[in-house]
Homo-oligomer: A and B are copies of this chain.
Amino acid sequence: MFFCLPLSCKNNGQSSGSNDEPKPDFKEKYFSQILDHFNYNSMGNGTYLQRYLITDQYWKKGHGPIFFYTGNEGDIWAFALNSGFITELAAEQSALLIFAEHRYYGKSLPFGKDSFNIPEVGLLTVEQALADYAVMITDLRKELNAEACPVVVFGGSYGGMLSVYMRLRYPNVVAGALAASAPILSTAGMGDSAQFFRDVTADFENYSPACRDAVEGAFQKLQTLAQLQDYARIKTEFALCKTPSSSQDVHQLNGFLRNAFTLMAMLDYPYSTEFMGNMPAHPVKVACDTMLNRTDLMAALRDTVGIVYNSTGGMTCFDLYALYVECADPTGCGLGFDSLAWDYQACTEIEMCFESNNVTDMFPPMPFTEQQRQQYCARRWGVLPRLGWLKTQFWGDSLLTASNIIFSNGNLDPWANGGIRKSLSSSLIAINIAEGAHHLDLRASNPSDPDSVVKARQKEAEIIAQWVKLERSV
């Protein structure tokens, strides 16, 4: 799970967003935030500047609700410009709109370029991020004379997890949460390690069983070449910049290839996007059409991953280690500072031991055991992951004492089955979107939207309006 590909990272998210999306007049501001909420005598005995975007252009001042996006693992502009539904809703419900950046991402680096040193990185935790948001909301409400204005939090993916956690932790501060594509179970060690890549595979298989077979066949051909150590041929077939020279290089290639399918499954939107790299409309269809377009399976695979890595067609060869970095998250960490931060989170609180096994999925077996994770994390960050911690801290599936949370998921999204798929009570509501990929519902309305997401957004809007109304009456 990561939020910028090398190509899109460069523009820092600020020029992305499709032309169809509303363009709210965000002001970029910085909030003087407490560095360490849980230790009064730590190295972090001070403040840092936390970035946030705010617009009151839709707000009925002092009365309309506050819609607050709990920023996740990336530049906050990327989320603001790709979550047009929240803007539309703000306009409809006269809300103040705030997108807050997560500490250690984007420009919210507590220690600048030293933020990823040890021990400075230690203040990157879910709990600190939640406390940031609680403090920011509380202070901004005072500053803006908005103490009577109900706050609803929104988030997608890890940001959706944070929205859930905000409602669990701070129901005194937030009236409700829309958590889109939030895999709160699988990231808390309550998943099945085969689930993720099985569901990636299902997307391609559902489009066409032949597509799955072709991808699997291509990977098998690669394995055969690898066993023969025919590295020159591998270089040619996959248009690599450098000839592989070890099984480690082949492992890297497998990860690089698998990752393209992960992204196309997650971002299988009905129109082209620039959210996480440039993605065509219906990328799974495009991928399968590409896979099935030629008989040379390896060439087909090369062309198919090119949809992700070489969308402009300008790349003459693939630099494996520059385009894909293996990390503690087998679904990918991306590149750049943001990827460091996510790697650290995957090494500490967030559990993501997903593996492909070539039985329930179309990929080569790529085990990722807890032991491998531990070894990597100890070496890379000097930490050991805390198994079960997120489940203890944020309740796992024991959510019945909570209220006012929408868990939306798209059936196309490989993260979906790591989340809440059935309503747990009248105020813990699951919304499943048949034709939806990764938090499609948070994106702006689009003429290509399937009916299922249009209906989901309507339902979300109604429920949120109800929360706001009820909160006022308390």
Contact = CB atoms under 8 A, between A and B. Distances in A.
Nearest to A119: B41
A248 interface: no
A403 interface: yes
Given A135-B392, A169-B169, A38 B127 contact: yes
Contact of A40 (B39, B131, B383, B474): B383
Given A138-B392, A172-B392, A392-B135, A123 B401 contact: no
A386 B169 CA distance: 19
Given A172-B392, A392-B173, A42 B398 contact: no
A380 to B, nearest CB: 12
Contacts of A347: 40
Q: Which of A36, A122, A125, A135 has the most CB of B within 10 A?
A: A122
A123 B39 contact: yes
A461 B173 CA distance: 33
Contacts of A138: 388, 392
A381 interface: yes
A400 interface: yes
Contacts of A409: none
Copies of chain A in the complex: 2
A382 interface: yes
Interface of A: 34, 36-43, 45, 118-123, 125, 127-128, 131, 134-135, 138, 169-173, 347-348, 381-383, 386, 388-389, 392-393, 395-396, 398, 400-401, 403, 474
A359 to B, nearest CB: 31
Contacts of A396: 172
Nearest to A384: B40
A291 to B, nearest CB: 42
Most central of A40, A128, A134, A138 by chain B CB within 10 Å: A40
A259 B403 CA distance: 45
Given A39-B42, A40-B386, A131-B393, 17 more contacts: A36-B39, A38-B125, A38-B127, A39-B39, A40-B347, A41-B121, A41-B381, A42-B43, A45-B382, A134-B392, A169-B169, A170-B395, A171-B398, A172-B395, A172-B398, A172-B401, A401-B403
Contacts of A121: 41
A467 to B, nearest CB: 12
8 contacts: A41-B119, A41-B381, A41-B382, A42-B119, A127-B127, A138-B388, A170-B392, A171-B398
Contacts of A37: 389
A398 B471 CA distance: 11
Nearest to A173: B392
B392 A128 contact: no
